[in-house]
Structure 1
Amino acid sequence: MMTEDSSADLDFSKALERVGERDPNAAAAKAKEQLYSLDSVTLNIAVTGETGAGKSAFINAFRGLNDDDDNSAPTGITETTKQATMYTHPTKPNVRLWDLPGTGMPNFKANKFLKEVNFETYDLFIIISSERFKENDVFLAKEIQKKQKRFYFVRSKIDNDIWAVAKTKKFDEQQVLCTIRENCHRNLKELGNPKVFLISSYDLGKYDFQDLVDTLESDLSEYEGFVLVQSVPVCSLAMLEKKKAVMEKFIWLAALGSSLGAIIPLPLLSLAIDKTVLTSYLISCHNFLGLNEKSLIKLSERMNKPLSQLKSAIKTPLELAVIDKLSIRPCTATAKPVKSLDDLLDAKFLLTSFVNAAQAFKTTYTILGGALNDMVNDMRQVLQAAGLNE
């Protein structure tokens, strides 16, 4: 039977194996390097489709922006995109969404369009239509296939379709959605019945946006998938759980990287923890989960709820300590003073010394997992305060 200590050694051994190093110090250095390299992973997403399909609105929603925010993609009832335009994510500039010119303009020339599209620039294509998919959409998908690039069909403005029939006597939302899917598939059957995602850019929490993100993540590399999920807004409880699951995959890397320079291979010397790595990881979780100031403001505006009401839902000492470290005061007079983040980490680690590297890794891994759970619980309360209970 495996003892608790041998289990810890096994976990630590697996961590060393994953970074391809046997020496703990070398492994810690490599883990830290990989952890920070996540911020440099680039993802280029091309958004194309017919004029007026809602490409710009989708790009804005994906980036967590309103259509009238600074740096938002211009929207309108006429074609607003004359050439490929890149829009970087406001908090993850390595995530880039490209608004390509509409394919439904009267002067649209397919061959010219293909010459101007630099396929190598993009990691994937999202083809958007607000009605049925047409000949140009199928043509473009075939060309993307030839270039061995991924493409996904998005049927936009679903909220408009639902609103248009919502007052009819026999209204059945699921039946309406089923009819829309069937109509899309009829027009795409020559492509082998590809999946179509039904989306409202003004309410990402409804319909198929979650399914789209799940599909994209599964098709991308592990690091690209992490960056993708990191960049999308927390629009529902399901998306919050998605973000938690993705963040949990990298706890081991932060736990291993935090021992950089602290594992001293000499007898009688204690092992310490690099709190800089832990602090950086916790702040990343804070931003990743939508607990940062800008995300809360956007959520407040979208759900028409007072910002103070959302902030008052944040109550765990750890998250309040992160907010304090970022010099953002909780917007509530009843908020109790908390220890600094450094003090809380010291308290968690007691004397911050361990007998061996395996013990340090296991303890750090456990503490970071608990910290992530605390933050997720805070964000769950924020979403409920905002009225997003599903």
Structure 2
Amino acid sequence: MDKLIDPEVIQNFKKLLEVDPAAAAETIKNYVEKKNNIPLNIGVTGESGSGKSSFVNAFRGINKNSPGAAPTGCVETTMDIKPYPHPNYPNVILWDLPGIGTTNHPAEKYLKLVVFEEFDFFIIISDTRFRENDVKLAKEIQKMGKKFYFVRSKIDNDLLAEERGQRDFDPESILSKIRQNCIQGLQKQGFQSPRVFLLSNFELHLYDFSLLHETLDIELPDHKKHVLLLAMPNINQEIINKKKEAFQADIKWHAAASAAAAAVPIPGLSVAVDLSLMVVVVSQYVGGFGLDESSLRRLAASTGVPFNDLTAVLTSVLAKSNITKDLLIKLLTQCVSASALMAAEEGSRFIPLFGIPVAMALSFTVTYKALNFFLGTLADEAQRVFIRGLRLNTTV
């Protein structure tokens, strides 16, 4: 059973199914929508120039020159607390906080400026070692019972500088030294077991960004980690697989809503509901995997891979067209079993006594199988785009 499902929702669904099937279907629909739109507020902070704004842009898959990007630069660019919603999941907001310790925001004033209770967790960023102000801020966050994570940014610059100065360059050794240096510095300032994640804002698939997500996946509440996953950039195939699993967990509830609609004794209603539901859900898959045109153009801008090269690896019409009822009907009719089940569902409702239960079972089966097929197809497409985005071969 889905551990995110509230038992009261299930009980309410069962009761409504007996007296008002249409209301039961609406209950499940509203539940899934609410679960996917839970607010998540991430505070990104640190000293001025540490790479906060670049991190905000990178997480959202936005190039610094794109509309809606957080301004970046070598001088203090964040003067106020600014929200930056995720382009596909506006309920996930990264808050670019002013640099602590500057003349505009001295540490004492900063602690009063930031309302810690409003954030789910904090990312504390430094491009060198973590200084006194970073530690002071972390301790205040700790007092509030909030989670925080130290991120050492601009690792790519450090490795490039080391490579130029060494004949026998060993990147793993350099990364280990940087990590230990940060940890030891934080321990000297009172943190017993600090965790430090090494990142490059321009290459999130490298270094510790995956480890950061794994840590958040363990420590965040279930409902928060779910929306975080949906908003995560596709930095590796594991993220794509986890998104697929998360979408897959909801399919049984979409199918249950479809079955409830089939219990309403109105000819043609169930098929119409099924198709409308599938259009919404499949469109969510497209956006979640970053296969919509806007997401692909942002990916092209951030990776330098031409937009046409990214779209060239797409093989399914699902990732190349707007999701409409006509498109889904066309795809379903190509699948003999699905189209046959839909026809059988409509015919079965006129069978005395047993017609409605049979129609409900068939409706559940059609929706369940169709959404699994569409989801698997789009997950494969996401992997192709991910591989092409890294300029590798396009074999999944």
- TM-score, length-normalised on structure 2? 0.83
Secondary structure of 2:67 counterpart? coil
Q: Deviations over 1:33-58 (max 9, x none)?
A: 11222353211111111111100100
* Deviation for aligned residue 1:85: 1.4
Alignment partner, residue 10 of structure 2: 19
Number of the residue aligned with 1:204: 204
Q: Distance in 2 between matches of 1:366 and 1:216?
A: 32
Structure 1 counterpart of 2:327: 340
Q: Is the 8 A contact 1:15 1:252 kept in 2?
A: no
Aligned-pair Cα RMSD in Å? 2.9
Would the aligned equivalents of 1:48 and 1:103 in 2 still touch at CA under 8 Å? yes
* Cα distance between partner residues in 2 of 1:244 and 1:27: 26
Shift in Å at residue 158 of structure 1?
A: 0.8
Query: Structure 1 residue aligned with 2:340, among 350, 355, 358?
Result: 350
Tell me the equivalent position of 1:241: 241
Q: Which residue of 2 aligns with 1:307?
A: 307
- How far, CA to CA, are the matches of 1:315 and 1:16 in structure 2? 40
Distance of 2:363 and 2:341 partners within structure 1: 12
Give how far 1:243 is off.
Answer: 2.2
- Per-residue deviation, 1:369: 1.8
Pairs within 5 Å for 1:34-183: 34-106=31-103, 108-167=105-164, 168-183=166-181
1:386 aligns with 2:389: yes
Cα 1:387–1:264, aligned 2, differ >3 Å: closer, same or farther? same
Contact 1:88 1:96 in 2 (8 A): yes
Contact 1:258 1:276 in 2 (8 A): no
> Any gaps of 5 or more consecutive residues in structure 2?
346-357
Shift of 1:86: 1.4
In structure 1, the partner of 2:226 is 226
1:298 paired with 2:313, answer no
Query: Secondary structure, in 3 states, of the residue corresponding to 1:174?
Result: helix
Q: Which moved more, 1:106-115 or 1:181-190?
A: 106-115
Deviation at 1:111, TM superposition (A): 2.5
How far apart in 1 are the matches of 2:310 and 2:104?
Answer: 49
Measure how far apart 1:163 and its partner are: 0.9
- The structural deviation recorded for 1:260 is 4.4
Deviation at 1:302, TM superposition (A): 3.2
Post-superposition offset of 1:265: 7.4
Distance in 2 of aligned mates of 1:270 and 1:87: 41
Preserved contact between residue 258 and residue 270 of structure 2 (Cα < 8 Å): no
Tell me which residue corresponds to 1:6.
Answer: none
What is the distance in 2 between the residues matched to 1:351 and 1:365? 12
Aligned residue type for 1:22: K
TM-score normalised by structure 1 residue count: 0.84
Change in 2 beyond 3 A, CA 1:177/1:32: same
Q: How far off its partner does 1:15 sit?
A: 11
**Aligned equivalents of 2:269, 2:236: Cα separation in 1:** 45
Q: Is the 8 A contact 2:44 2:123 kept in 1?
A: yes
Gaps of 5+ in 1: 1-9, 327-338
- How many Å separate the matches in 2 of 1:216 and 1:388? 29
Map of 2:373 onto structure 1? 370
Q: Distance in 2 between matches of 1:41 and 1:113?
A: 28
| Offset of residue 133 of structure 1 | 1.0
